[in-house]
Amino acid sequence: MMHAIQRLIKEKYLNIQAKLVFPLAATILVLVVILSPLTNAIIKGRIEKEADRRLGQIADSVGALIENSEVVARNNAALLANQAEVTNVFQKNSSGDHLLKIKDDLLLQELSLYTADFKKGDQALFYGGPTVARRLQVSEDVLAIREDLILSALQEKKPVSAVAVSPQSSQIIGAAPVYDPQTGQLEGAVVTVFYMDDAYIKNISHIIDTDIAIIKDNATVISTINEATGYEKLINDGWLQSSDLPVENVKYSDGTEYRLLAHPLTISGKQQGTVLVAQPINELFNLNRGIQAILFTVTGVFALTALWFWIAAFLTLTRPLVQLTDATSNISQGDFHQEVNTSYLMFKDEITLLSENFNTMTNHLNELYTSLEERVNQRTQELAEARDDAVAANQSKSEFVSIVSHELKLPMTSIKGYSDLMLTGATGQLNDNQTNFLTTIRNNVNRMATLVSDLADISRIESGNLRLEPRAVPVWDVIDEVVNLTKTQVEDKHQSLAVDVSNELPKAWCDRNRLAQILTNLISNANKYTPEGGVIKVQAHQMDGVIEVNVQDNGLGMTPEDQQKLFSNFFRSADDKVREAPGTGLGLSITKNLIELQGGKIWFTSEFRKGTTFYFTVPVQKI
């Protein structure tokens, strides 16, 4: 086990059995620990939402039942307004005692009569209802609604009704005008009342099979909900204002858990407070338990199926693959004598064919490896001999170039010296032909001297024998020196040469002569490949611990193809205009090597027929 962990950490190796186990374990873990609870939570949330929707419908039905009672009260008042027993009381032909029996038959809590000249505060002509003590408990709000309803019936001359919800004596009131059947004259109004008392609310609770409570102004009007739920404390704590439809799980005194929902109490389109409805959670969430059982069953079946597939895969797939892995590991270490077991049970499969092909491949590979070793040894020997020959040839070439350069310097110096003397008239007056011939000889000798010098430099660079003498060098002095040296050839082509060197330029740390050679090569190139009347600029400034020098011209420029080969030995452009100027193709190669050997860099930008700018850097003198 520890060995497997070490390989996992060091080599990031995990065998295939573990790769099968981990996904299986991860799948079961995700299914059991994450997906199952998550799915259960989602389902429970949906069921709670559906349960709350049902409780909301039940709450609406409470308002509908009260509204129905209001219709009954109004219809009863209209019915009684046409009864002779009622008109006889207005005409004082009866004491009204028989009206009490009618009230009981209609299940009314109150039946009263008021005269046509009724004003607020007037007593009833006939009162058939609770005792005086009960009447004194009626709130001012309910009394005002009752009196307004009586006046409305008398003034509008039609049956009317209203619901007065109050913490004290809530009422469902109906009123209708009473007319003299003989004369049609308005006699007064009859009032029928249902009280929203314990019996009334228990009846509604029984009809809808739900405990309910009616709340007005954060006070309980009437309730069948167990006080142990603490719903009144919830109301006092602002629970009704916590959301549009507050909901809470509460417990009754017997320990049964209920779902409590608050819903606006709307009667005849008018909100009359809040109705609380409560039902046992077991009845609401029975479906959730069934779904949970199904979910756990499916999870178990899936886990067992995944385990069975893993065992089958282990027996038929992983064991042969482990053998193949061990064999290939041995091959990677150079042991090609490998063979794996190709036995099978009843039928061959892809793993069996793979094992057979692997054995065939290892046999061929072993034969090829043996043959390849022999060929590699032979080629290695041949390459070693070729390398030795190339090293010797390169050494011989360097020695030859060095000897030739040395041997050619003396005669060329003599030729140049004598030709210069003759051109100055030291041997007598020369005619034009003689002058031309001697000038040609001198120019060619100069070209030969340049070529020999370049060949000698290349030879020293390649052999590592180039000698450099770095010291503090004032760059501005070297630039002035080279500008004066090349002044004649620049003026011959009527070109302008501008120099821009910073006054605060520090000294460079380099070989002065080689720096002069670099600048001479670059300015001479700019001169050669810039037409007459062109402009050459030399600039130098300090940046990031180095001195950067650039030589710019507005000459022929280079094509992208030529730019890629520019620093190669003996490279000359195929451009006819470029080839009009003499050159060996070694100057820029030497220049690049001289710069890099002194710790600098060289680069350029060029645009065909518009000009070229060369940039190079040399280190600043260390203080």
Residue 188 belongs to domain with CATH number: 3.30.450.220
Rounded CA separation 407/409 (Å): 6
Domain assignment present for 254: no
The whole-number pLDDT of residue 471 equals 95
* Shared-domain flag, residues 114 and 90: yes
95-132 burial: b if 16+ Cβ within 10 Å, else e: ebeebeebbeebebbbbbbbbeebeeeeebbbbbbbee
Check: CB of residue 509 under 8 Å from CB of residue 470: yes
The whole-number pLDDT of residue 263 equals 92
Taking the complete model, does pTM exceed 0.85, yes or no?
no
Domain assignment present for 19: yes
Residue with tokens 């022999």: 374
Domain assignment present for 356: yes
* Shared-domain flag, residues 482 and 600: yes
Residues of the chain below pLDDT 70: 1, 3-4, 7-8, 11-41, 43-44, 131-138, 283-296, 298-299, 301-303, 306-319, 344-350, 390-406, 447, 451
Check: CB of residue 141 under 8 Å from CB of residue 149: no
Check: CB of residue 533 under 8 Å from CB of residue 494: yes
Domain assignment present for 276: no
The whole-number pLDDT of residue 434 equals 86
Q: How many domains does the chain have?
A: 4
- Residue 37 phi, psi dihedral angles, 5° rounding: -65, -35
* Shared-domain flag, residues 448 and 509: no
Which CATH number is 503's domain given? Answer: 3.30.565.10
**DSSP-derived secondary structure letter, 618:** E
Residue with tokens 């193709």: 585
* Shared-domain flag, residues 124 and 189: yes
* Shared-domain flag, residues 391 and 368: yes
Of the residues 138, 165, 196, which one is the last residue of a structural domain? Answer: 196
* Shared-domain flag, residues 529 and 496: yes
Rounded CA separation 546/509 (Å): 10
Range of the domain at 448: 336-466
Of the residues 466, 493, 517, which one is the last residue of a structural domain? Answer: 466
Domain assignment present for 228: no
Domain assignment present for 482: yes
Count CB neighbours of 543 within 10 A. 9
E strand intervals along 166-304: 171-179, 186-195, 211-216, 219-223, 247-251, 257-267, 270-280
Closest CA to 24 of 320, 351, 304, 321: 304
**DSSP-derived secondary structure letter, 432:** H
Of the residues 419, 446, 466, which one is the last residue of a structural domain? Answer: 466
Count CB neighbours of 23 within 10 A. 12
* Shared-domain flag, residues 496 and 436: no
Domain assignment present for 408: yes
* Shared-domain flag, residues 478 and 460: no
H or E, element range at 332: helix 319-332
Strands 171-179 and 247-251: unpaired
Rounded CA separation 20/18 (Å): 5
Kindly list the distances between the CA atom of residue 299 and the CA atoms of 25, 27, 36, 507, 555, in Å, as whole numbers in the listed order.
13, 11, 8, 82, 82
* Shared-domain flag, residues 451 and 473: no
Closest CA to 114 of 210, 46, 193: 193
Task: Tokens for 565, please give them.
Answer: 């080969």
Q: What is the pLDDT of residues 244-263, one digit of tens each?
A: 889 998 999 998 989 899 99
* Shared-domain flag, residues 478 and 553: yes
Check: CB of residue 614 under 8 Å from CB of residue 608: no
* Shared-domain flag, residues 473 and 559: yes
The whole-number pLDDT of residue 136 equals 43
Rounded CA separation 164/66 (Å): 11
* Shared-domain flag, residues 431 and 495: no
Domain assignment present for 341: yes
